[in-house]
Structure 1
Amino acid sequence: MAFDTPNGTRGARQPGHSRIEQWGNRMMVDRIRRRGDRSGTKLVLVTVGSKTGEERMNPVRWFPAGGDARFIVASASGAAKNPAWYGNIRAHPDRVRIEYAGQRIDVVPEQLHGAERAAAWAQITAAADGFAKYERITDREIPVIRLTPRQNGA
């Protein structure tokens, strides 16, 4: 379950810093939490800030990972740095949940490595080829994370 992907040295601009992007993300988070999204491929990832200890909510695209599990990708649109939520998961892996359409599900995050990551990455890029572009833009390996619903008591 090692969340050990270092930041890179080159890549796109880190998303989410402008006020318009932040406003858009807040609106998307509210909509997904209440009604879901039209395509059914987005969820709200809820983490606890690694430095602040406050809840953070981010809209992310998900991909099926078998059963009730889902894959998410820490692409940051191909930025050199991992998204902040990746560091939050690393700091507090036991306090992660997903929300969509009125549901709140505690999850266990697991970063994939090696052949398991390669298989998931092939599935993800076949479904959404924009992620392959992100990988070409940056020199870091883009983390793929499996979110599995937490069992009671786990």
Structure 2
Amino acid sequence: MDLFLTGTILKPKGLKGEVKVLPVTDFPELFLSRKSYLAGKSDASVMPLNVLKASLSKGFAWLFFEGVDTLEKAEKLSGMHLFVEEKELARQPTGRAYLHELIGMKVLDGNRYEAGVISDILKMPAHEVYEVQANGRKILIPAVEEFVEEIDMAGRYMVVPRFDEFL
């Protein structure tokens, strides 16, 4: 089962079990409607948590979970990550994709010849960077419109007209 990170529990708030969550998603409003999460320090060992109440404020989600009704119980959740299964991910708007959907995608050069395959996506301070395996080498391409002309999710390819500049 593939799990996807949606937030990290930072700390408890108050004495009744409420926790402060840092959303790591483009859709923080989903914290208001999602009824359950899988929580753990990693995706290898998780436990289910059912949401009783949720709110958003100042870029954070504030959640109450079933069975977590004291400060002590909430403190035990601090530092845990909140995961969802792939089937629970929000649909992306047209022209957008989840990063994991780009792994394995073909990279075409300006002549539309296959130049490589995306093997990883690195998070950098300014933007993501695509790691492309090309002829046994790792090529790093900034994930910005200046370099990426087209992404075709159905065809599973991306066009990088200036690919040769990265060799």
Q: TM-score, normalised by structure 1?
A: 0.29
Larger relative CO (CA 8 A, sep 6+): 1 or 2?
1
Q: State the structure with more CA Rg.
A: 2
**Greater helix share, structure number:** 1
Q: TM-score, normalised by structure 2?
A: 0.27
